[in-house]
Amino acid sequence: MKHVPTINKSGPQPQKLAALRQAHREWNESPDVLTRLTRRLSTTLNLETQLAILADEIGQVVPYDHLTYRHQITSRDFVYATGMGGPHRCDYRLNLEGSFYGTLSLSRRQKFTEQELEGLELMLAAAICPIRNACHFIAIEQAALTDSLTGVPNKRAMDEALTRASCLGERHGEEYSLILCDLDHFKQVNDRHGHVVGDHILKLAAVELERAVRNSDCVYRFGGEEFAILLPHTDEAHARVVGDRIREFINTITVNCGDTDVSVTASCGVAMRLPEETADQWVARADEALYRAKDHGRNCTRVFAAIGI
């Protein structure tokens, strides 16, 4: 006969449960620096919050004047800094299992002792796993908000940005303008030269769009061959100037396909956000302005005027 193991349905022994509760209580109440540090870091995946916790815990053990953390997560720079600097400095490269998770630097007026440096290394060893998890979380979030072909933010990121802009516009009366930019006759490019060429042109278009705008502006791939550009602190007149500059930059794109060069033009629709206007209404007006640009022969900019049409 086959032996069937007996399962104890009564659960763990009371002594084991009591020991577990005691261990949990000690972990929560332990005054040990490393235990407290790891406990605090485990409460969040926000890297900025984690670094603030780490800075606080380090300061209670090793006094410092300035702390800086730098890391490039995917294609974006992340910098956290607190305090003012001093002439004496120590730098740490945060590595775990062969992967790099940023550089942390501390400085102060007095030289760090060997005992203090050893203490810093112990604290960073306890913090590296939570920091790694927070870096991974940022990378996942960025991937979800980034267009995989062009590398610019995607429609989901645009929707979130427009919602934030609408809230700020209502709260502080700030001016925001939106440009919708569509590559003209792009379907013909794909049909005649293939999607490889078409994808290459889309990548080049994203590069030219980012070159044409300010650092404070943001370019999004709205869908297909359509891009959106959000312009903070910009009225419709200045947004129209940006739209024309965008078209000039797009017009410089040329792709050699052997026996012929492929170029592309763009049409732009501009709309400045109106008071009490929802993000969807705002986008709809920019889209209407883009439709007018295409209806007037393409390769031009049209504005959905805030006052009068």
Query: 150-197 pLDDT, tens per residue?
Result: 999 999 999 999 999 999 888 888 899 999 999 999 999 999 899 999
Quote the CA–CA distance of 191 and 34 in Å, as a whole number: 62
Comparing CA positions, the residue from 216, 60, 219, 53 lying closest to residue 147 is 219
Catalytic residue among 208, 225, 226, 277: 225
CATH value of 25-144 in 3.30.110.30, 3.30.450.40, 3.40.50.720, 3.40.50.2300 = 3.30.450.40
Which tops the pLDDT comparison, 307 or 137?
Answer: 137
Give the pLDDT score at 4.
58
47/6: higher pLDDT: 47
Whether the CB-CB separation of 241 and 187 falls below 8 Å is answered with: no
In the predicted model, is pLDDT for residue 308 greater than 80? no
Tokens representing 182 are 């569509």
Give the pLDDT confidence of 247-263 residue by residue, as tens digits.
Answer: 999 999 999 988 889 99
Distance, CA of 137 to CA of 87 (rounded, Å): 35
120: tokens are: 């810093």
- Which H or E run contains 72? strand 66-73
d(CA 3, CA 196) in angstroms, rounded, equals 63
Section 111-115 average pLDDT: 96
Least confident of 19-33, 203-217, 276-290: 19-33
* Mean pLDDT score, 72-88: 91
Q: Locate the domains of the chain by residue range.
A: 25-144, 155-304
* pLDDT classification of 306: cutoffs 50, 70, 90: low
- Residue 257: alpha-carbon gap to chain centroid: 35
* Residue 204 · residue 198 · CB < 8 Å: no
Cα-Cα-Cα-Cα dihedral of 231, 228, 207, 174, to 10°?
10
Q: What is the CATH number of domain 155-304?
A: 3.30.70.270
CA–CA separation, 25 vs 104, rounded Å? Answer: 32
What pLDDT score does 23 carry? Answer: 77
Note if 175 is an active site residue. no
**Is it true that 25-144 and 155-304 share their CATH fold?**
no
In angstroms and rounded to an integer, the radius of gyration of the C-alpha atoms of the chain is 28
74 close to 144: Cβ distance less than 8 angstroms: no
Return the sign of the alpha-carbon dihedral for residues 109, 111, 115, 119. positive
Distance, CA of 286 to CA of 294 (rounded, Å):
13
Query: Burial letters for 277-290: b for 16+ Cβ neighbours within 10 Å, e otherwise?
Result: bebeebbebbbbbb
pTM: 0.74
Output the CA–CA distances (angstroms, integers) from residue 143 to 75, 148, 177, 298, in the order listed: 10, 8, 26, 33
* 254-256/266-272 β-pairing: unpaired
Long-range contacts of 163-166 (CB under 8 A, 24+ apart): 163/279, 165/230, 165/232, 165/273, 165/279, 166/273, 166/277, 166/278, 166/279, 166/282
| Banded model confidence at residue 8, pLDDT cuts 50, 70, 90 | low
* The pLDDT of residue 32 is above 90: no
